[in-house]
């Protein structure tokens, strides 16, 4: 097979419009958390961390997984269901559900995220897990593995302390990056307040990030004596979206605000390649394109070092069938590989 190898030249001059000087990112500010991580919500790039894979109790940040699983497995959010007696009177945060009370799914979702209702989370779990042989807890652990959150284990849907219930800052960032891609989840977690008609009340968000930090967009707080103060927070500015996770941090909100200020000062999100972008031709003259867009957060210094390389081939044959895949492309910062994608003859 004959390969045609060449570099795709970036329009560096377009990048230069964003700044007239190059500088190195300042050091991340001091963070008091036992474990923390800072990631780009789109690409998953880690730009700061300490003990990100330390297994720790995570309190009500558990409800991020509970809520996104419920959203993904329930079709009618306006459906009203009866609250099982087993879901009432759970210790800790509550929206004070009563046995056999009829409540809409959407109100339970908001009650779980905004008020951190353990009774709401348990009710969602009972309903969403009713058609799964292993129940909702098995669904939580299966989903964690599917997302790559391999250092997590869930034994309940609300986060009350249990020796075998834990996660990591890294895993929570992975789960949250997945969750905020869902429009309903993002709408819920970013709300300052919500009118819950089936509960005949307003629900106010306990997460101060959404109304205290200028660019705050969510996500979830958590606290138990065993876990300490835990916060998964998100913020977006000028198209750059950052997720910060702090675990066992008495300075939880202020630490996240410092992290966000630092991240937005030093990093910006750039679309490196765009789906459908022309990338060259095969040896028989067939035009080749980028298969999907790729964005990444970069410092001003890093953006000057971005380069792309490609390998264009004749279309691949898979299982005796001709495909539209015509090679690969790779994105580097200097010599560091940050992304690999496919080249296609159509998209």
Q: Is residue 28 part of a domain?
A: no
How many CB atoms within 10 Å of residue 55? 14
109-164 pLDDT per residue, tens: 999 999 999 999 999 999 999 877 789 999 999 999 999 999 999 999 999 999 99
**If DSSP codes are grouped into helix, strand and coil, which group holds residue 200?**
coil
299-309 pLDDT per residue, tens: 999 999 999 99
Q: Above 90 in pLDDT, residue 243? A: yes
- What percent of the chain shows pLDDT beyond 90? 84
Q: Is residue 29 part of a domain?
A: no
Residue 255: per-residue pLDDT: 98
* Torsion angle of C-alpha atoms 155, 157, 158, 160, degrees rounded to 10: -10
Residue 13: per-residue pLDDT: 30
Residue 20: per-residue pLDDT: 30
Q: Above 80 in pLDDT, residue 177? A: yes
Same-domain check for residues 199 and 77: yes
Q: Which band of pLDDT confidence, cut at 50, 70 and 90, is reported for residue 4? A: very low
Residue 22: per-residue pLDDT: 35
User: Which residue among the candidates 49, 60, 176, 190 is catalytic per the annotation?
Assistant: 60
268's enclosing H/E stretch is: strand 268-273
Q: Above 60 in pLDDT, residue 2? A: no
Q: Is residue 25 part of a domain?
A: no
C-alpha–C-alpha distance, residues 295 and 306, integer Å = 12
Q: Above 90 in pLDDT, residue 197? A: yes
Same-domain check for residues 192 and 282: no
Q: Is residue 252 part of a domain?
A: yes
- In this structure, what token pair is assigned to residue 49? 């961390």
Q: Which band of pLDDT confidence, cut at 50, 70 and 90, is reported for residue 25? A: low
**CA triplet 178, 183, 187: central angle to 5 degrees?**
110
Query: Is the four-CA dihedral 179, 116, 225, 88 of positive or negative sign?
Result: negative
Determine whether 297 is exposed, middle or buried from the number of CB atoms within 10 Å of its CB (0-12, 13-18, 19+): buried
How many CB atoms within 10 Å of residue 211? 13
- What percent of the chain shows pLDDT beyond 70? 90
Same-domain check for residues 280 and 152: no
Q: Give the pLDDT mean for 66-80.
A: 97
Same-domain check for residues 210 and 84: yes
Residue 316: per-residue pLDDT: 62
Same-domain check for residues 160 and 12: no
Q: Domain of 328?
A: 4-19+271-344
Mean pLDDT of the chain: 91
Same-domain check for residues 146 and 246: yes
Same-domain check for residues 130 and 112: yes
Residue 321: per-residue pLDDT: 64
Closest residue by Cα to residue 329 from 294, 285, 287: 294
Number of domains in the chain: 2
pTM summary value:
0.89
Same-domain check for residues 229 and 323: no
Same-domain check for residues 111 and 156: yes
User: Are 36 and 173 contacting, i.e. CB atoms less than 8 angstroms apart?
Assistant: no
Q: Which band of pLDDT confidence, cut at 50, 70 and 90, is reported for residue 56? A: very high
We report the CATH number of the domain holding residue 137 as 3.40.710.10
Query: What is the residue-wise DSSP string for 125-140?
Result: HHHHTTTSTTHHHHHH
78-93 pLDDT per residue, tens: 999 999 999 999 999 9
Residue 347: per-residue pLDDT: 66
User: Which residue among the candidates 49, 104, 116, 234 is catalytic per the annotation?
Assistant: 116
Q: Is residue 80 part of a domain?
A: yes
151-160 pLDDT per residue, tens: 999 999 999 9
Q: Give the pLDDT mean for 72-78.
A: 96
User: Which residue among the candidates 35, 49, 63, 269 is catalytic per the annotation?
Assistant: 63
Residue 119: per-residue pLDDT: 98
Residue 283: per-residue pLDDT: 86
Last residue of a domain, one of 214, 231, 266: 266
Last residue of a domain, one of 250, 266, 282: 266
Residue 133: per-residue pLDDT: 74
All residues at 6 or more sequence positions from 43 whose CB lies less than 8 Å from its CB, including other chains: 294, 295, 296, 297, 339
Catalytic residue at 116?
A: yes
Q: Which band of pLDDT confidence, cut at 50, 70 and 90, is reported for residue 322? A: low
Q: Which band of pLDDT confidence, cut at 50, 70 and 90, is reported for residue 318? A: low
Q: Is residue 246 part of a domain?
A: yes
Last residue of a domain, one of 266, 286, 316: 266
């Amino acid at each position: 097979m004959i390969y045609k190898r060449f570099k795709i030249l970036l329009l560096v001059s377009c990048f230069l419009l964003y700044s007239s000087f190059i500088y190195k990112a300042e050091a991340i500010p001091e963070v008091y958390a036992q474990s923390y991580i800072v990631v780009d919500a789109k690409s998953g790039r880690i730009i700061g961390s300490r003990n990100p894979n330390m297994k720790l109790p995570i309190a009500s940040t558990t409800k991020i997984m509970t809520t996104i699983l419920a959203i993904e497995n329930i079709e009618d959010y306006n459906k009203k269901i009866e609250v099982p007696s087993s879901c009432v009177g759970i210790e800790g945060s509550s929206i004070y559900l009563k046995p056999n009370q009829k409540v809409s799914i959407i109100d339970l979702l908001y009650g779980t995220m905004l008020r951190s209702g353990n009774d709401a989370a348990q009710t969602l779990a009972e309903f969403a897990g009713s058609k799964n042989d292993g129940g909702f807890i098995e669904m939580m652990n299966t989903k964690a593995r599917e997302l790559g959150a391999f250092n997590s284990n869930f034994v309940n849907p609300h986060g009350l302390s249990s020796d075998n219930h834990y996660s990591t800052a890294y895993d929570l960032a992975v789960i949250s990056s997945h969750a905020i891609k869902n429009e309903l989840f993002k709408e819920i977690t970013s709300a300052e307040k919500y009118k819950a008609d089936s509960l005949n009340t307003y629900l106010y968000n306990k997460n101060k990030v959404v109304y205290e930090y200028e660019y705050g967009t969510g996500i979830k707080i958590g606290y138990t004596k065993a876990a300490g103060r835990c916060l998964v927070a998100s913020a977006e500015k000028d198209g750059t979206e950052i997720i910060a996770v702090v675990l066992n941090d008495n300075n939880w909100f202020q630490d996240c605000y410092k992290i966000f200020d630092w991240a937005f000062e030093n990093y910006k999100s750039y679309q490196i390649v765009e789906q459908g972008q022309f990338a060259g031709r095969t040896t028989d003259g067939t035009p080749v394109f980028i298969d999907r867009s790729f964005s990444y957060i970069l410092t001003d210094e890093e953006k000057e070092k971005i380069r792309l390389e490609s390998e264009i081939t004749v279309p691949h044959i898979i299982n005796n069938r001709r495909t539209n895949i015509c090679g690969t492309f790779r994105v580097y910062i200097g010599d560091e590989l940050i992304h690999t994608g496919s080249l296609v003859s159509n998209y």
